[in-house]
A and B are shown apart, each in its own frame.
Chain A
Amino acid sequence: MSFQEYLTQEWPDILDLTIQHAEVVLIAVAIAAVVGIGGGILVEGHQAISQAVLAVTGTMLTIPSFALFGLLIPVFGLGSTPAIAALTLYAIFPVLRNTITGLESVSADIVDAARGMGLPGWRRLLIVRLPLAWPIVLTGIRVATIMNVGIAAIAAAVAGPGLGQLIFEGLAQIGGANALNETLAGVLGIALLALILDLLFVLVSRLTTSRGLRG
């Protein structure tokens, strides 16, 4: 069966897996965004603490994803839950780092002006600092998302949903009928999904960034 024939026959399943894949990634990134932005706000300004937090979350990125998924089985069992948990852990670091960087990059003069005007701390954060840090924070979320689209393929190892299933199935029966087609469909699907999500972020960025900040 040629790749084209395979696609014509299997596309409803492939589309289904792609949507599952996107779901797992986006749920994980959403959780990571809340944790990462919240954590970034909390630790920003405390030099020692933020360095420690960045070091710990950064270290998580060095854990091979295959191993991390496996390590989470005793905690979360099989399926979507360990997949989302692992992806969340990976996504926290870019969001957290960019939140801290973003907040630190807001000019001291601007913050001084906000303080001097009598804006209390939380209003300073919501009205001034976060909106100014937002383009950088959003870049962190975008990086986390794209990175997770790739890592999520490994989730199939813990019976997680998504395009990884095609890849793992294909690799398991290498030499057999459709083995190459399945793997190829998985890989291309992941690449395409990453591209679509990336374009989506360009749109979100335009919609959520003040005109006064755009170049």
Chain B
Amino acid sequence: MVDSATHPMIRLEHVSKRYPGTAGAAVSDLSIDVDAGEIVVLVGPSGCGKTTTMRLINRLIEPSGGRIYLDGEDVTGVNADQLRRRVGYVIQQVGLFPHLTVAANIGLIPRTLGWDRKRVRARVDDMLVLVGLDPGTFRRRYPKQLSGGQQQRVGVARALAADPPVMLMDEPFGAIDPITRERLQDELLALQARIRKTIVFVTHDIQEAIKLGDRIAIFAEGGRIAQYDTPARILADPADEFVASFIGSGAAVRSLGLQSVGELPLEDVDVVDQAGAGESAARRLLVDGDGRPARWLDGAGSGGTNGAVAVVGSDASLYDALDAMLRAHDDVAVVLSTEGAIRGQLRWDAVLHRTRPTTSDPNAGDLSAGDVSGSR
């Protein structure tokens, strides 16, 4: 085993695919690295080569040129079936085998790998529990007896049955109603938090990409990657016109939903309890007996609010913080820790500053508290 810290889990190196008799290549000279444990979403308009790229990874499509590495090993020439058993695969129409029970579907690859009956059975039950289906209820069912969402979950369970380090998901939620899709997305994220697989996810839905991706590769026509970065940075700083138009309007607002209040440096709050609530030049926060924010005591010269306090948790998104400020008609939100203690305050300006493209890099965008308080 090679040390996984030194190489990406998946590496495509100058990979191309051209079909005989066609002018342009489906994918040309494409290189991409996917690190262990991250979700990378390939997104783009139809015909952009995102599905082709995914299928090159498990060699359902053989590349015309370039190398493919899995966990540091060059798999361009190895037995494709053996490669595929190390790579879970989930497709849009689920692809469950209708003539096999749920248990037989999930246990198929373990049995192919020669596991004994007992081990397969135990694994099937584990997988069902993992995706939130009761083994006793679902083991013996046939795919047609399941709802779309349940089929999708069984599809994921089947892909994970042989414990592959990598999972490929080709528009898995494409044919599912929006409400169920939303829930399956949440479940996938919760599942991923536990299993930490390397996931490559194909979709044409930029919203889904933003929600699920640790990183997003935006494909343009001709199998070219227009931008490969975190959702926050793509929204804040699209690489070109194509990316900007693909992510659509409202990108800046959406990017607020991706950053939590806790990621920003907070200012100290000037807190007083009832006893010390005398006149002062500065604006102070009055707290009740439990130490919770009650209202602002406006000092001389401060903006006229009627004392309402915008309060957010530190795990809330910047979007939530701005929302709270707007509702309180104030430009400051008080940030509470998960235990309810006051951690500090966040200013409207700090959020504005944060979303400016030049400060989109989390390291470059390090706002010092003094900087902001000086503006007041």
Residues of A at the B interface (CB closer than 8 Å) are 107, 109-110, 112-120, 123, 127-128, 131-132, 210-213
Contacts and interface: CB of A to CB of B under 8 A. Distances in A.
B81 A132 contact: no
Contacts of B85: 117-118
A134 to B, nearest CB: 8
A116 B54 CA distance: 11
B99 A109 contact: no
Contact of B97 (A110, A118, A211): A110
A109 B83 contact: no
Contacts of A119: 81, 108-109, 112
A113 B109 contact: no
A212 B112 contact: no
B81 A118 contact: yes
A120 B81 contact: yes
A119 B105 CA distance: 12
Interface in B251-301: none
B173 interface: no
A107 B92 CA distance: 13
Given A115-B84, A132-B99, A210-B99, A109 B91 contact: yes
B10 to A, nearest CB: 15
B84 A211 contact: no
A114 B87 CA distance: 13
Residue from A107, A109, A113, A123 whose CB has the most chain B CB atoms within 10 Å: A113
B60 interface: yes
Contact of B84 (A116, A132, A212): A116
Interface of B: 58, 60, 80-85, 87, 89, 91-101, 108-109, 112, 142-144, 158-159, 168
A106 to B, nearest CB: 10
Contacts of A110: 95, 97-98
Contact of A128 (B82, B92, B97): B97
26 contacts: A110-B95, A112-B60, A112-B95, A113-B94, A114-B97, A115-B84, A116-B58, A116-B84, A116-B89, A116-B95, A117-B85, A117-B89, A117-B109, A118-B87, A118-B109, A118-B112, A119-B108, A123-B112, A132-B98, A132-B99, A210-B99, A210-B100, A210-B142, A212-B98, A212-B100, A212-B143
A115 B62 CA distance: 13
Contacts of A114: 95, 97
A114 B100 CA distance: 13
Contacts of A211: 142
Given A116-B91, A117-B159, A212-B143, 18 more contacts: A109-B91, A109-B94, A109-B95, A110-B95, A110-B97, A112-B95, A113-B96, A117-B85, A118-B80, A118-B83, A118-B112, A128-B97, A131-B99, A132-B97, A210-B100, A212-B100, A212-B142, A213-B99
Contacts of B158: 117
Contacts of B84: 115-118
A210 B60 CA distance: 28
A116 B89 CA distance: 6
Given A113-B89, A118-B83, A128-B97, A212 B60 contact: no
A30 to B, nearest CB: 24
A17 B95 CA distance: 50
A212 B101 contact: yes
A127 B82 CA distance: 18
A109 B97 CA distance: 10
A118 B60 contact: no
B81 A116 contact: no
A141 to B, nearest CB: 18
Contact of B60 (A107, A115, A120): A115
A197 B142 CA distance: 30
A109 B51 CA distance: 14
Contacts of A120: 81
A118 B161 CA distance: 13
B27 to A, nearest CB: 18
Contacts of A117: 84-85, 89, 108-109, 158-159
Contacts of B112: 118-119, 123
Sort A-B residue pairs by CB-CB distance and give the 7 closest, nearest first.
Answer: A113-B95, A118-B84, A212-B142, A116-B89, A210-B99, A118-B85, A109-B93
A152 B168 CA distance: 56
Residue from A107, A110, A116, A128 whose CB has the most chain B CB atoms within 10 Å: A116
